[in-house]
Amino acid sequence: MIKSIIRGTGKFVPPNLVTNKDLEKILDTSDEWIQQRTGIKQRYWVSPEGVTGASDLGFEAAKQALDAAGWTAEDLDFIIFATLSPDIMFPGCGCLMAAKLGLNSTPALDIRQQCTGFLYGFATADAYIKTGLAKKVLLVGGEVHSSGLDKSTRGRDVTVIFGDGAGALCIEGVDTKDCGLLASALHADGNYADSLMTELPASRLPHRNPPGLPLDDPRYFPVMDGPSIFKKAVRLLPKVTKEVLEKAGIGLDEVDLVVPHQANKRINQAFGQFLKLPEDKIFHNIEKYGNTTAASIPLALHEAIEQGRTGKSGETVLFVALGAGLTWGASLYRFL
Ligand code: ACO
């Protein structure tokens, strides 16, 4: 049976380190508040002078993943790019990154599912592989949040959590059994779209950028009802975990490591407590990178493998995420 197997991973963050102390200098916050409420100590933001889009960060992570897989870009027959912060309105980052990889006809698809983008991307890659539409897929999550954040005290709840970065996976269809992507469970509820969104520019308006609006109008920046998203995450992430375990027909005790979306360390700790998971079964790197949205799971997976926390044949990882949309989901992967 054809299964989707991870052949290589990659990660990239821009060199510009921004600590919580740096943020104290530009808005009313404190290192103590950020660490206590989120677990974040620092994040990387692209240089404000440079011209760096999500596809540039994705390109760097993609090159690493290709090297790790022993593939060249020409080996790819499908590209999926997950981002909420595309370089430009259109075309999508998948096309832009494919051109940077030197490709000129490989199909490329963008996914706009925010923090759940990686899970939707992996499930999509799997569907393409299982239906024979693709064999070697590059899945990238990449975000440049920093150029779109409200860096005044008004936006502090959102601005302190987001970091820029990218993660990439090379995924291949292999005839095998009992390993690869075992199951995915995906959900969306657009009734809560306004609990986390950036409203402008908006095609639903007569002018996408309404004339006369100041550039610091709050609608140009992400706004979030943090406490309500937090509560939804704590309730829905364990629920979707049970769903995906049932789909795969395995028990939680068979999961060796959870690599969750890195939105808030407290969310992942509450998730672990609810499911009675030992602390060392949950991988965290939010302290170094903040929330890199679609990049966060592939970036965390890359580090977990690098650190020897997962990646051995037969080991099973659970991915789980919730984000804007609302979107949420989980998937289970077993290494070949
Ligand atoms: N520094 C200092 N004080 C702050 C900051 C800050 N950066 N941000 C908010 N505060 C203040 C608030 O003004 C409030 O003050 P008040 O009590 O005087 O009114 C107080 O801190 C508490 O604010 P809350 O919003 O209730 O703080 P909370 O503990 O909920 O933490 C946070 C906020 C970190 C945003 C949390 O709600 C959270 O992580 N929510 C979920 C985020 C998430 O998972 N998002 C989805 C993924 S992102 C995506 O999909 C794009």
Task: Convert the pLDDT of each residue in 51-73 to its tens digit.
Answer: 899 999 999 999 999 999 999 99
On whether the CB atoms of residues 98 and 59 are closer than 8 A, the answer is no
How many Å lie between the centroid of ligand 1 and the Cα of residue 154?
A: 12
Confidence label for 190 from pLDDT (cuts 50, 70 and 90): very high
**Residues 20, 170, 291, 302: which is the catalytic one?**
291
Task: Check if the beta carbon of residue 287 is closer than 8 Å to that of residue 42.
Answer: yes
Q: What is the pLDDT of residue 225?
A: 96
* Closest atom of ligand 1 relative to the 222 alpha carbon: 51
Name the amino acid, one letter, at 18.
Answer: V
Q: What are the pLDDT digits (tens) for 263-311?
A: 999 999 999 999 999 999 999 999 999 999 999 999 999 999 999 999 9
Cα distance between residue 285 and residue 303, in whole Å = 8
**Could you give phi then psi for residue 280, rounded to 5 degrees?**
-75, 0
The residue whose CA has the least distance to atom 13 of ligand 1 is: 157
| Best residue for ligand 1 mutational test, from 24, 25, 34, 37 (most atoms within 8 Å of Cβ) | 37
Give the per-residue pLDDT at 49: 82
Domains recognised in the chain with CATH numbers: 2-175 (3.40.47.10), 180-334 (3.40.47.10)
Q: Is the pTM of this model over 0.85?
A: yes
Q: Which amino acid is at 119?
A: L
Render pLDDT for 119-137 as a digit per residue (tens, 0 to 9).
999 999 999 999 999 999 9
Q: Tell me whether residue 261 is one of the annotated catalytic residues.
A: yes
What is the DSSP track for 145-174? -GGGS--SGGGHHHHTTB--EEEEEEEEEE
Residues with CB under 6 A from ligand 1: 29, 33-34, 37-38, 114-115, 156-157, 160-161, 196, 226-227, 229-230, 233, 263-264, 267, 291, 293, 323-324
Ligand 1 atom index nearest CA of 158: 35
Strand-pair category, 257-260 with 316-323: parallel
> 115 an active-site residue?
yes
Beta bridge partners of 175: 2
Residue nearest atom 12 of ligand 1, based on CA coordinates: 157
* Mean pLDDT on 82-93: 97
Return the residue whose CA atom lies nearest to atom 44 of ligand 1.
Answer: 263
Q: Ligand 1 centroid vs 227 CA: distance in angstroms? A: 7
| 302 is annotated as an active-site residue | no
Residue 98 has a pLDDT of 98
Which member of 93, 115, 170, 179 is catalytic? 115
Which residue owns the Cα nearest ligand 1 atom 33?
226
Closest-CA residue to 151 (of 55, 25, 266): 25
- Residue pair 197/324 in contact (Cβ under 8 Å)? The answer is yes
Residue 147 CB partners (closer than 8 Å, separation 6+): 46, 48, 85
- Would you state the pLDDT for residue 50? 77
| Nearest in space to 313 (alpha carbons), one of 129, 205, 179, 214 | 179
Q: Does the bond joining 257 to the residue before it have cis omega, within 30 degrees of 0? A: no
Instruction: Grade residue 163 by pLDDT with cuts at 50, 70 and 90.
Output: very high
